[in-house]
Amino acid sequence: MTKPELLAPAGNLEKLQAALIYGADAVYFGGKNFSLRAYGDNFTREEILQAVEFTHALGKKIYAAVNIFAHNADLDALADYLTFLDGAGVDAVLVSDLGVFALAKELTGLKIHVSTQANVTNRRAVKFFGELGASRIVLARELSRAEILDIKADCATELEIFVHGAMCISYSGRCWLSKFLTGRDANRGACTHSCRWKYQLVEETRAGEYFPVGEDERGSYVMNSKDLCLLPCLDKVIASGVASLKIEGRMKSVNYVAGVVKVYRAAIDAYFDGNFIVRDEWLAELDKVAHRPYTTGFFLSDGAPTEIHSTAKPRRSADFLGIVRAFDGSSMTATIEQRGRFAVGERVEFLQPHGRTFSQTLTDMRDADGLTISVAPHAQQVVTIRVDEPVEIWSLMRK
C-alpha cells in the first residue's frame, strides 16, 4: 500500500513553511481572491512564487485553492489568475465550480482537484469528474468509511478526505446562512460563521424581548459543530486506500498547523512501521491547539454523524509564545521571534519539528542588544534565551 499524502493548510507563507518543516507532504493555499477564505491572510502573486520555490526545493507539492462558486463577473480575472498559477508551477488547482474547472482545463496544463464543496458523494460522480479530466476528488465530508471503501473499490481517480479540523453544519461547506444574515457569501469565501452564533427566540410583536432557547446554561448554539479528528481511527482511514489525508485550517495559527501536522505525520509513519496505536502524547498535542470538542464525524457512522453537535467555544491548552529562529550550541542559547508575552521564571515548552517536546524554566533572557531583560512584552521582538537542551530551528515555544 502506498503511503497517503499528508496535506496541510497554508494560510500564509510562514504557516506554509511550518507545515512542510513539521512533516506535511503537500500544502494548499488561497490567493488574494477566488479561494473560500476571503478573510485569511492569503497569498500575493509574489508570495505564491516564493511558496512554490520553497515547497519544490523540499521535493513536496503545493496546490492552489480556487474553489469559489464563480459569477460571470469573476471569469476574466479567474482566467488571468489560473494562467498565472500555471506559469508559477503549482502542482494542482482545487476547484468546485464547473465553470472554473472548464477554464482551468482550457487555459492551463494544471492538474485539477475537485473540492469537497463540489459535494462528491458517490462513485458515479467520481467517475464523471475523472472522465472530465479531474486527477483527484476530495470526497464530501458526509461519507462513512463503508461508502468511501465502496467508492474506492470502483475508481481510478485519486481520492482525498479530510481527517482533521473544523466542520460546519452545511453540506460540505455549501451554505446560505452567512449571506442571508450578513450579506457575506460563504460560497465566495466570506463566511461569517453565523452557525456559531448564539441564537434566541423573538415573538414578532415583542421586539427586543429575547426568549432564551434552552440548550445549556450558556445559551443555544443549535448549529454549532464539533471539530473533526480521525486520529483515533487513522488505521482504518489509511486502510481505506485514499491517496491524500487533508487537515483543515487555513485561518488557524502557526501553532495549530505545526502541532497537528506533527501528530498526523507521526501517526501515518507509525502505521507504515507496523506500530500504530493512538498515543497519549498525540492526543495531548491535539488538545494544545485551538479546537472545539473532537468528533469522528461521519467516518465511523452508517450515514448519520456521531455526536457532531457542540455548545462549546474553541479552546486550547497551550499559549504560543514564539518561534526559534537560531540556536547556538556553544552558549546553549536560542534566538526567539516573539509572538506572546513571556517572562523569566515562567515554565515553557518547546515543540520541535522532529525531536521530542521538552519543558524548562526561563532563567536568562536578553534583548537584541544583549541586555538582560526579565520580560518580553512586545510581539515580534527578537530575544535570546538560555535553553536546557539543544533546540531545533523552527521549534515553537509555548506555555
- Return the number of the residue (120 or 397) whose C-beta is nearest ligand SF4: 120
Burial class of residue 153, CB neighbours in 10 A (0-12, 13-18, 19+): exposed
Distance, CA of 391 to chain centre: 26
For ligand SF4, the closer of residues 17 and 224 by Cβ is 224
Closest approach of ligand SF4 to the CB of residue 137, in Å: 21
DSSP 306: S
Contacts to ligand SF4 by CB under 6 A: 168-170, 173, 175, 177-178, 186, 191, 193-195
Residues in Cβ contact with 340 at an 8 Å cutoff, skipping those fewer than 6 apart: 319, 320, 321, 322, 379, 399
What is the closest distance, in whole angstroms, from the C-beta atom of residue 225 to ligand SF4 in the complex?
Answer: 8
Nearer to ligand SF4, 182 or 317 (CB): 182
Between residues 186 and 254, which has the closer beta carbon with respect to ligand SF4?
186
Q: Which is nearer to ligand SF4, 4 or 30 (CB)?
A: 30
Give the nearest distance from C-beta 166 to ligand SF4 in angstroms: 8
Return the residue nearest ligand SF4 (CB atom): 168
The radius of gyration of the chain's CA atoms, rounded to the nearest angstrom, is 22
Complex with ligand SF4: residue 168 or 229, whichever CB lies closer: 168
The three grid cell numbers given for residue 26, joined into one nine-digit string: 503537500
CB of 192 to ligand SF4, least distance (A): 7
Smallest gap from residue 167 Cβ to ligand SF4 (A): 8
Q: Which residue's C-alpha cell is 451554505?
A: 175
178 vs 244 by CB, closer to ligand SF4: 178
CB of 187 to ligand SF4, least distance (A): 8
Which is nearer to ligand SF4, 251 or 373 (by Cβ)? 251
Q: Is the dihedral of CA 89, 87, 35, 124 positive or negative?
A: negative
The two beta strands, 382-386 and 333-338, are antiparallel
Instruction: Give 157 or 172: the residue with its C-beta nearer to ligand SF4.
Output: 172
Q: Are 13 and 47 in contact (CB under 8 A)?
A: yes
Partners of residue 93 on adjacent β-strands: 64, 112
At its nearest, how many Å lie between ligand SF4 and the CB of residue 177? 4
Residue tagged 511558496 (cell numbers): 51
Within 13 Å of residue 76, how many CA atoms lie on the same side as its CB?
A: 1
Burial call 235-261: b when 16+ CB within 10 Å, e when fewer:
eebbebebbbbbbbbbebbbbbbbbbb
What is the grid cell recorded at 88? 508559477
Minimum gap (Å) between residue 157 Cβ and ligand SF4 = 26
Nearer to ligand SF4, 120 or 175 (CB): 175
For the CB of residue 99, give the shortest distance to ligand SF4 in the complex, in Å: 21
Residue 97, C-beta contacts closer than 8 angstroms, at least 6 positions apart: 67, 68, 69, 70
Question: Is residue 152 within 8 Å of residue 237, measured between CB atoms?
Answer: no
Write the CB contacts of 182 (distance below 8 Å, at least 6 apart in sequence): 192, 194
Minimum distance, C-beta of residue 207 to ligand SF4, in the bound complex (Å): 25
